[in-house]
Amino acid sequence: MIRIDDLALKDERLVHRPLVGAMARVQGHMTDFKECARAYYFEVVLSPHQCPGCGGRLRMTGLSQCSCACGRAFDPTLEFQRSPCCGAKLVRQTYHYACSRCHEVVPSHFLFDERVFDKEYFREMMQEHRRRARQEREEIKRFLTESRSGTLLLTEEPHLELLDGFVQDLDAFIQIHQDIPDDSGFEAKSTFSMDRYRSHILSCLPTEGVRFSDIAQVDEDIRRDKAWRFITLVFMQNDRVVDLVQEGDNIWVQRLQNEAHA
């Protein structure tokens, strides 16, 4: 978020505006008041406690850290605060404190508006994650290495005859189609010949045109013949031989005058 005073310093034109200048001064006063409130809050919450080493007075010197004149520095939440659920010491998690017994989240009394962040805990978790990921990669690599087949060294030209029964099985596999009896009832389907349909359509296409449904059937299968006639007409239209016009559920097929040139 952009602060008012930072914005005023970046744009000199805002400095000469009374409203912006007043807002910057108010924000400065609020910042100073907040710092005074934070200092007073920490002075109050630390007043009942003394340095465990020398019994001296404590003061906050950082995030979740207090120190004494003797040089001792520690986390006051871990040192002085107990969990309200079990009365046990607290432990530091990534972003909060928790009870060391039931792991219930416990707000710290020694934080003003900050959010605790345990760098050591986060560093340990990241190291553990990298260690597990590295171990998984090594396991996968080891598994792939063990499952790999051995090296095939060819000292001489391979001969298929040396493989017992391989040539016979290969011949039997290739000639398997010969085992199909003649009376299997297999019937080859008609193949599509566009030239055949093209010649047929042109032979029954009058000068004034004809409807698609009136073109005589060529193949015995009605649906298949209808599809092949339509495919042929589409290609003939693309070649500028005929022109197709939709008329309701039917198609009007008109021979083009420049058919010979096409």
- The parent domain of residue 101 ranges over 56-119
Copy the structure tokens of residue 250.
Answer: 């039917």
Query: Taking each helix axis from N to C terminus, what angle separates 194-203 and 222-238, rounded to the nearest 10 degrees?
Result: 80
pLDDT (average), residues 35-41: 87
40 within 8 A of 53, measured Cβ to Cβ: no
Which residues are 221's β-sheet partners?
none
Alpha helices, H only, 47-190: 76-80, 119-147, 166-174
- Is residue 213 within 8 A of residue 250, CB to CB? The reply is yes
Residues 78-128 pLDDT 10s = 889 899 899 898 988 767 888 989 988 888 888 877 766 556 666 777 788
CATH number at residue 223: 1.10.10.580
pLDDT at 230: 92
Query: Do 69 and 96 belong to one domain?
Result: yes
Phi-psi region of 251 (alpha: psi -120 to 50; beta: other; left: phi over 0): beta
- The pair phi, psi for residue 143, each rounded to 5°, is -65, -40
Interval 183-193: pLDDT, tens: 555 455 568 88
Mean pLDDT value across the chain: 80
Amino acid at residue number 247:
E
Confidence of residue 182 (pLDDT cuts 50, 70, 90): low
Q: Domain tally for the chain?
A: 3
Residue 178 lies in a domain: no
Residue 13 has pLDDT above 60, yes or no: no
